[in-house]
Structure 1
Amino acid sequence: MNVLKPNQRTTVYTLLERGSTQREIARITGIDRKTVRSYQRRWQAEQSNSPRVATGSDAVAAQTPPPWPPAPSSASNPAATSLCEPHRAFIEAQLRLRRNATAIYQDLVDSHGFAGQYNSVKRFVARLRHKEPEQFDRLSFLPGEEMQVDYGEGAPTRVPGSDRYRKPRLFVATLRYSRASFRCVVWKSSQQVWAELHERAFRHFGGCPQYVVLDNLKEGVIKPDLYEPELNPVFAATLAHYGVVADPARVRDPNRKGTVENAIGHTQATALKGRRFESIETQNEFLAHWERNWAAKRIHGTERRQVQAMFEEERPHLKALPLLGMQYFEEVQRTVCDDSCVRVDHSSYAARPAAIGSKVRVRIFAQRIQLFDLQTGTLLRSHPKAQRPGTVVLPQDERVFNPSRETRLILRQAAQIGEHAARLCQLLFAIEGRVGQRKLWGIVGLARRYPAHCIETACAQALEQGIYSYKRVQALSESLFADALEAIEAHAGGDVAPTPATLTQQHGLIRDAHEYGDLFAHAAASAMTTATAATTPTATTLTSTQGGRA
C-alpha cells in the first residue's frame, strides 16, 4: 500500500465520511483505487474501535450535507425494476434467435407498446446474455514433434545512418515440448528471410522437429485454407530440404500456437521492455545472452521443470540436420518465346519441350536456372546461369536453320554420300560462299530420290567436266538412274545382253561390284526414304547382274 501524505489522508477520510465511493474518491484526488480501498479499511477499523464525538472539522463535516445527487448505496437504495422486466419472455426468445438489442427494441416499440429507451433494453439484454466460458485443452506433444513460430515487435533500435529509432520484427521459434526458444530481430521480412530464420532456428537447436506450426502470414502461406493451404514455394522448399512438415494454424485461431505467443509476450515484457539498442546486431547478442542465462534456466510455470533440462531431454529426438544448407531461389513465371527460349535477367534459356507461347515456372538460383511445368510441376530443363546479360543458352541441335552456322551440317551430310560429293560441295562453298549453300542443300537433298552411288557418280562426272552446278549433278543423277532402270527391265524381259561396245566395263570411275553392293547396303540402313526403299530391290538386282557380267 502506498503511504499518503497527511493532507491526502485527511481528504480521503473526509470523502469517506460523506459517503463517497472509492471510484469518486479516486477521480477527485487522483489516488489509485487500491490505495483508497486500503485507507477505507483502516478508516472503518478506526471508526468501529474508537467511537468519538464529532468536534472541530469532524463536526463541520458532519453538518455538511452530502453531495447531490447522493451516492448510490446497494443497501439503502435497491435497484429499481427495469421497464423491460414485463417483456422478459419475449426478449429471451429473441436472444435465442441471436437477434441484437436494436432489433429487439424496435419490435418492443412496434408490437408491445414499450415506452422505455433503447439504453434500458441494451442494459437488460446485457444482463440476460450469458456467455459460457470457452474451454481450452491442455495440448501435449512428444519430444521433437512440434515447433511453433511467429513474429512480434522488438525493442526500439537505431536505424542505420540516422538518429531515428524504430522497432524491428522479432522472430521467435519455440519447441513445444521443452519451451526452448530461438529469438532474432530483423529489419524487414520476405519469403527468403522467413525461410532463413527457420534454418537458423534449426541450427540453433541442433536438429529439426517433425512439424512447424505457423501463422497465415504471406511469407509462409500464400493462400490460407482449412484443408489444403498453399505454402510459399521458397518456404516449402526449405522445409522439404530439412524434412519438416508445415502445419499452418486456422485463420483467427492464435490459441493453436499459444506457446510461441506466450514466448513473444515474455520476451517483450521481460527482456526488451524499456530498452533501446544502437544496432540489430547488439539486440540479437542481448537476446542470445538473455536466452542462455535467464530464459533457459527458468522454471516453467506449468511443467515445474527447468527449460534447459527439458531441452536436453528433447535434443536427441530432433532429426539430424543435412550436410548442406538450403540453396535459396527466386521463383517467377515466364512465357516461352518464338525461339523456344525464356527470358531471365536479360538472357535466354532453352525451354523445350515446353510449347511456344506456354507459361513455365522458373526458379532462379545463384548458379543455375531451373524450368518447371506450370501445371504438373515437372522439371523441364536445368541450365547454368549466364554470367553476362544477352547470353543465349540454346544447344546447337535445337536451333533452326541459320546460314552462318549450318555449313558444317551440310558438308557432313555430303561426306556421307561419298568422297566426290563432299569435294564438290566444298568447292561450291569455297567459290560462292554462303549463297552457295542453297546448291549444297540441293545436292544433299538428291539422296532422298536417288541412290547414293548415283549421286556420287554424278558428282564425279561433274568434277571431271569442271561444271560445279546443282542442276548438272541433278541431270547426271537422273540419267544414271534411268539407265540403271532400263538395264534392269531389259534383264528381266530376257533380252540379249548389251554388246561390249555399248556398255563400258572398265573405267577409272567404275568401282568393283562388291563395293557397289556395300554402298547399297549402307544406304538402305541409314537414310532411305519411301521412294529409295521402293527402288532398293531393283538396284540390288542391277548390282547382281553387273557382278555376274563382270
Structure 2
Amino acid sequence: MKQHLQSAIFTLLERGVSQHRIHELTGIDRKTIRRYQTLYEARRAGGAKSSTAATTGSGDPVVAQTPPPQNPPLPRPPAPSGVPVSSFNFARSASEPHREWIEQQVRLKRNAQAIYQDLVDQYGFTASYESVKRFVRALRHVDPEQFDRLEFTAGEEAQVDYGEGAPTRDPKTGRYRRPRLFLMTLRYSRRSFRRVVWKSSKQVWAQLHEEAFRYFGGSVSYVVLDNLREGVITPDLYEPEINRLYAAMLEHYGVVADPARVRDPNRKGSVENAIQHTQNTALTGRRFESLEAQNEFLMHWEENWAAKRIHGRARRQVEAMFQEEKPHLKPLPTTVFRYFTEVVRTVWDDTTVSIDRSNYAARPAPIGSLVCVRVYDTTIEIRDRRSQELLRTHPRHAQPGSLDLPDSERPFNPSRQTSLALASATDIGPQTKALCQHLFDAEGRVGHRGMWGIVALAKKYPAWLVEQACDHALRHHLYRYRQVRAVVERLFEQALERLDRAPQLALPLTQEHPLIRPGDEYGEFFNVGAQHSAGSHPSTNGETA
C-alpha cells in the first residue's frame, strides 16, 4: 500500500476512529484496515515495553506510564511533471550482472519469485529477493498508452449504447427493477436522446434508433455501437456481420453502422460519458412508477439541464452546438421503415416454402435449397440466402393452409386440370370442345382420360379431321375415345383414297408462253440480286424493275 495511505490509517487508529469509519473515509478494504490495526497495536505494545524498561531504570514512574508519541511519517510529495516516476539505478543493482537472463524470463511472463529461485539455484545468487523484485519491476515499466483526440464534423457520427435506468415499478410483478437505458449521442454537439425499455430485441433496438432520428430531426452518416447481439451478429476486427434488420433500417435512413472493436470502449467515449452523466446526475436516488414517467423525466432533464450545460472540453453550450449541427443532418425519408422477421426455409418438392402454415411459390430457387424469407405485415419476400437478391414477392395470407402457386408453375396433373383440357379442345374446334365437355359432365374426373385422348389425336391427324370426327360422334351419340379414334382413322383413310383417285393432269412442256420471260431477263435479274447482296445498288431501267 502507498505510504500516505498507511500514514492515514495509523493516524486515524491513533485517534480512536473505528474500522468502519476509516473504510468510509479512505475507501480501503476493511480486511486491510484490520491487518494494519494489528500491526499498529503490535508496534504500540513494543514501544510501551521499551519505554517501560527505560523508565524503570531511571526510577521515574510517571514517565514510565506515558509512552512516547507516535508520529507517522509524512507522505511523500508527488513527483514533478515531466520526471519519470521510476528512477531505478540498474548499475547499482546486484541483479545487473544477470540482466540478459532476467529479461528473457520477464518476456516469458515469469514472476520475480520464480526468477529469484532460479538465480539462487543456477547462478549462486547471494543478494536478497527484494533486490530481484525491484529489478524486475523496473524492467516491466511500460509508458502510458497515447490516445488521439477524435474530432468529427457536424452530422457525421452518432454513438449508441445501453445502460441501466433508475428503479421502476414492474407492472407484472409490482416490484421495482431497473430497465434498460438506451442513449444516442451526437458526436459533434453531444446532444443526446434517452429512452428506457424493459427488454431489448432486434426490432426494439432498431425502433429506438428511429425515435432518436425523429427526435433530432434528421440522421447522421455513421453510427458507432458496441458488439451487442441486437446490432452485430458476428464481431470481427475487419468484417463484422451486421444484423440484417438493423442494417436494413439504417440503409432506409442512409446511415452506415461502424461497430467499435471488441473491448475498445474509448472509441465511443461520448456515449459512455453520457450514460454515466445520466445515471449519476439525473437518475441517482430516484424511483419511478412507470416507464412513461421515467421517459418523461429524462426528456425534461435533457431539455432543461443537459442541453443547456457548458461542455467541459468544447467550452460551449450543447444546445448552441446542436443548432449548428442540425442543418447538416440528413433529411428523414418520406416513408417509414417496414419491419420484418427474417427466417430461413427449405424449398419443398412442389417449389414452395411454408410460412405460418401457408405455402408460397419460391421459383427460381431450386428444390431443396435454402432461402431467406422476410415476413412483413402484409407481404412475403423470398430472397437468395447469400446475395440477398429478391426472388419473389407475395401478399401475405391470413388464412392458414393457403397456397400461392401459379398454374403455369405446377406440373401436369390430369386429375385437376379440366380447364386446360377444355382449352386445348377449344383450339381444335367447337365440336371437339362440346364432346369433351359432355365427357366431363357425364363422368367427372374419370372422363379426363378420354378428354386428353381426344385432344391428343390432333397431334397425329389434322385438326379439321378431328373436328369432323367429333361432329360425327355427337350426331351418332358416340362418346367413347376408341369410337372417336376409329372415326378419325376411317376419315383419314377415306381422304387418302380420294387423293389416290384424283386425276393426274398431264401438262405439256413448252419454252414459250406469255408468262415466261426471255432467258436474258432472268440472267440480268440474278446479276442484280447478286450485286444487291454484296452491298451495291446498281441503277436499272423501268422494264427490268
Q: How high is the TM-score relative to the length of structure 2?
A: 0.75
Secondary structure at 2:248 match in 1: helix
Q: Quick check: 1:92–1:128 contact (8 Å CA) kept in 2?
A: no
Q: Does 1:345 align with 2:348?
A: no
Q: Does 1:21 align with 2:7?
A: yes
- In 1, Cα distance between the equivalents of 2:67 and 2:136? 40
- In 2, Cα distance between the equivalents of 1:153 and 1:32? 31
> How does 1:28-107 map onto structure 2 within 5 Å?
29-30=17-18, 63-64=66-67, 85=95, 89-90=99-100, 93-94=103-104, 97=107, 99-101=109-111, 104-105=115-116, 107=118
Q: Could you list the runs of 5+ residues in structure 1 that have no partner in the other structure?
A: 1-19, 37-58, 497-550
Change (3 A) 1:33 1:430: closer
CA deviation after TM superposition for structure 1 residue 124, in Å? 4.3
CA deviation after TM superposition for structure 1 residue 449, in Å? 1.7
Secondary structure at 1:161 match in 2: coil
CA deviation after TM superposition for structure 1 residue 322, in Å? 0.9
Match of 1:209, as an amino acid? V
- In 2, Cα distance between the equivalents of 1:226 and 1:252? 11
Out of 236, 239, 260, the position equivalent to 2:247 is 236
Q: How big is each residue's C-alpha offset from its partner over 1:421-451, in whole Å with a ceiling of 9 and x where there is no partner?
A: 1111111112212111110011112222222
Out of 398, 411, 426, the position equivalent to 2:422 is 411
- In 1, Cα distance between the equivalents of 2:326 and 2:180? 27
Change (3 A) 1:163 1:464: closer
Change (3 A) 1:468 1:95: same
Q: Quick check: 1:22–1:33 contact (8 Å CA) kept in 2?
A: no
Q: Quick check: 2:95–2:132 contact (8 Å CA) kept in 1?
A: no
- In 1, Cα distance between the equivalents of 2:212 and 2:64? 68
Partner of 1:46: none
Figure out how many residues of one structure are paired with residues of the other and give that number. Answer: 450
Q: Quick check: 2:11–2:72 contact (8 Å CA) kept in 1?
A: no
Report which stretch shifted further, 422-431 or 82-91: 82-91
Partner of 2:513: none
CA deviation after TM superposition for structure 1 residue 240, in Å? 0.6
Q: Quick check: 1:212–1:244 contact (8 Å CA) kept in 2?
A: yes
Q: Quick check: 1:94–1:104 contact (8 Å CA) kept in 2?
A: no
Match of 2:104, as an amino acid? Q
Match of 1:64, as an amino acid? P
Change (3 A) 1:230 1:21: closer
CA deviation after TM superposition for structure 1 residue 482, in Å? 3.9
Out of 463, 466, 469, the position equivalent to 1:455 is 466
Partner of 1:424: 435
Q: Does 1:364 align with 2:350?
A: no
Q: Does 1:193 align with 2:204?
A: yes
CA deviation after TM superposition for structure 1 residue 108, in Å? 2.5
Partner of 2:310: 299
CA deviation after TM superposition for structure 1 residue 63, in Å? 4.1
- In 1, Cα distance between the equivalents of 2:172 and 2:64? 65
The alignment yields a C-alpha RMSD, in angstroms, of 3.2
Q: Does 1:221 align with 2:232?
A: yes
CA deviation after TM superposition for structure 1 residue 484, in Å? 3.6
- In 2, Cα distance between the equivalents of 1:74 and 1:257? 38
Out of 163, 173, 186, the position equivalent to 1:175 is 186
Partner of 1:258: 269
Match of 1:248, as an amino acid? P
Change (3 A) 1:365 1:411: same
Partner of 1:534: none
Change (3 A) 1:129 1:183: same
Partner of 1:149: 160
Partner of 1:11: none
Secondary structure at 1:21 match in 2: helix
- In 1, Cα distance between the equivalents of 2:317 and 2:447? 88
Q: How big is each residue's C-alpha offset from its partner over 1:229-259, in whole Å with a ceiling of 9 and x where there is no partner?
A: 1110110010011111111111111111111
Q: Does 1:319 align with 2:330?
A: yes
Q: How high is the TM-score relative to the length of structure 1?
A: 0.75
Q: Does 1:310 align with 2:321?
A: yes
Change (3 A) 1:205 1:91: farther
- In 1, Cα distance between the equivalents of 2:404 and 2:24? 78
Q: Quick check: 1:23–1:33 contact (8 Å CA) kept in 2?
A: no
- In 1, Cα distance between the equivalents of 2:270 and 2:75? 44
Q: Does 1:471 align with 2:482?
A: yes
- In 1, Cα distance between the equivalents of 2:495 and 2:116? 112
Change (3 A) 1:84 1:383: farther
Q: Does 1:246 align with 2:257?
A: yes
Q: Quick check: 1:91–1:104 contact (8 Å CA) kept in 2?
A: no
Q: How big is each residue's C-alpha offset from its partner over 1:104-128, in whole Å with a ceiling of 9 and x where there is no partner?
A: 3454244223468878755542343
CA deviation after TM superposition for structure 1 residue 474, in Å? 1.7
Partner of 1:503: none
